[in-house]
Structure 1
């Protein structure tokens, strides 16, 4: 089973993502802050992480760098979640170690398409 971590300060976004992605093949866990997400990664690294670009407690780039600095057998796919296309933010996230981005609010097909691009069966 693949594990997905959704890091977003919006409980609505986390719940919608969990409802869309949860299946026998994917387990979705949620974090409301970057610090909570980092703690969850340190305990059990997920296979894919979606991180909000506007976390209150740390920048998404800092979050990505901290995850990438962790040593372990799992090297997660990471996507940054944005409210609008911001090429600068996308490039900073990619330089930090993200593989892609997702726009919110997202639809079921958009979220599933992003996960399929990461080769994660949903």
Structure 2
């Protein structure tokens, strides 16, 4: 085993428990995964999340659309709420793994070979 391979293995072992994976194998559907960091406090928050998604999607399709004054007044809150959810869903554990693999590829010279006409 070359030194870079050993360095990668040691780094992965050392950081294996630093991050929690975002996706886990689903307990019921064998060929599917479940998102482990998506959570809501209650049904009201789940309904708020769905309402925010629908409202912002409809506004994206038709910016002139005004569903009602309550939705329009809460639009900034909807955006903040969905950004918070998106942040929780980002695969932080997987990002760390990819950082270690990318470092290994650079050290081994296994990166993408670019031609003269590509930057």
TM-score where L is the length of structure 1: 0.25
Structure showing the higher helix proportion among its residues: 2
Structure showing the higher strand proportion among its residues: 1
> Which of structures 1 and 2 has the larger relative contact order (alpha carbons within 8 angstroms, sep 6+)?
2
TM-score where L is the length of structure 2: 0.26
Which structure is larger by alpha-carbon Rg, 1 or 2? 2
